[in-house]
Structure 1
Amino acid sequence: MIRLMFLLPILLCLGWYYFLRVNGVPLKQGKRGFIYILAFSTLVLGFFVLMMHLTNPG
């Protein structure tokens, strides 16, 4: 499961790109959404890494 966490920001960015294209919004105007997606994905990945270190029995 953790191995596939790199797909989270990729899929979210592709979805955001599709949303912008469908609604006719330029990429420059939607740049903040990409930043939010990357920040959210970093937080989620950081949380899982922290939990792996805290629960590691060895």
Structure 2
Amino acid sequence: MIKLLYLIPLLMCIAWFWYLQQRGFSIKQGIKGFGYIIGFNLAIACSLWLIMWLTQR
């Protein structure tokens, strides 16, 4: 399961890119959204790492 965690941000970025293309926005206009996606997924990854570290797995 942990091996597949890189897929979540990848799929979210692909979905955001598709949304931008459908609405006629450029990548430059949607760069803030990519930042939010990466930040959100980094927060999740750090939380999971901390939980694993605390439980000594």
Q: Identify the TM-score tier after normalising by the shorter chain.
A: over 0.9
SS at match of 1:17: helix
Unaligned 5+ residue runs, structure 2?
A: none
* Whole-Å separation in 1 of the counterparts to 2:25 and 2:18: 10
Separation in 2, partners of 1:6, 1:46? 13
Letter in 1 for 2:20: L
1:46 and 1:2 map into 2 onto residues whose CA distance is 13
Match in the other structure for 1:2? 2
> RMSD of aligned C-alpha atoms?
0.9
Matches of 2:56 and 2:3 in 1, distance apart? 17
In structure 2, C-alpha distance between the alignment counterparts of 1:47 and 1:22, rounded to whole Å: 33
* Runs of 4+, deviation exceeding 3 Å: none
Q: Return the alpha-carbon distance in structure 1 between the equivalents of residues 52 and 3 of structure 2.
A: 13
Instruction: Please give the residue correspondences for 1:1-58 in structure 2 after superposition, counting only pairs within 5 Å.
Output: 1-56=1-56
Report which structure shows greater RCO (CA 8 Å, sep ≥6). Answer: 1
Question: How many residue pairs end up in the alignment?
Answer: 57
